[in-house]
Amino acid sequence: MKLLITGAGGQLGRDLVRVLEPAHTCYAFTRQQLDVTDEAAMRERILSIAPDAVIYAAAYTQVDRAESEPELAFRVNAVGAGHAAMYAELVGAAIVYVSTDYVFDGEKGEPYKENDCTQPLGVYGRSKLAGEQLTRELNARHFIVRTSWLYGRDGSNFVTKILAAASNKRELTVVDDQYGSPTYTVDLAVCIGRLLETNAYGLYHVSNRGFCSRYTFAEAILAAAGRRDVRIRPARSDEFVLPAPRPANSALTDLALRRARLPRMRDWKSALEHFIHVDWDSPPESGRGGLIR
């Protein structure tokens, strides 16, 4: 299969290439190589390559900064996604749009299913929801993949922040009133590859099974890394003032994967153990301390 991957320089994009390249021909473009907000550039790349599928992994993910840069967030997360979906449709290609748990408001008392009502709290979530809508409208062969709490060996994420902070601190502060489903980028890439082998188009929640609080997640990270000498102080979200609100509960459940009889993701603890013991390199020096989120 011939795949065009945007956002190939990000933590998910890199693992998509690592996972999919052995079995597929991957045309992978970083942000510097392909500006997804440039319609002419997107049109030229997609039409000249004529891929079997486009994976839109490009994303504006700065949740707090998005509140002051809404236009840029929407251009990358929505307008660019529309370009990808439209020109993929033109060449008969499927489109994978990677979305987020932040399309939900977090008020539900249990994990979110694919058919639950969306109600994003901030600009980032609204821009990703707009990207979902454009993808759905412009390409019938769409896979919309919502995921959450992503981590991998490339880029900055909650796991690498905790590991880096633990290298020079003996106490960390982590919120204990936000719940979600941690997701290992390698596992997500594998699942996307499986979806592309089907024509079971639609909306999927793809995260490692189960959910936890940020505090519990941090404890598990340190335990897996053998850093029981580092203490974690639980905190409430309202102790900190951040530009963008976070959903209190954004845990996901994989109802659509089960209905499609596709393999489920492994549980989040097993995925984390694998990442720590197999995939993780020593973290860079952390900066000053503070809230880990």
User: Among 256, 252, 250, 251, which Cα is nearest to 203's?
Assistant: 256
The DSSP string of 109-123 is: SSPBPTTSPP---SH
CA distance 279 to 248: 29
Q: Which residues contact 20 (CB under 8 A, 6 or more apart)?
A: 3, 5, 26, 189, 192, 193
The two structure tokens encoding residue 278: 């197999």
Strand-by-strand arrangement of the 171-175 sheet: 231-235, 171-175, 291-292
Active-site residue, 124 included: yes
Cβ contact 141:201 at 8 Å: yes
Cβ contact 118:108 at 8 Å: no
SS3 state of residue 236: coil
Cβ contact 180:101 at 8 Å: yes
Cβ contact 253:218 at 8 Å: no
Catalytically annotated residue among 97, 112, 124, 151: 124
Active site residues: 124
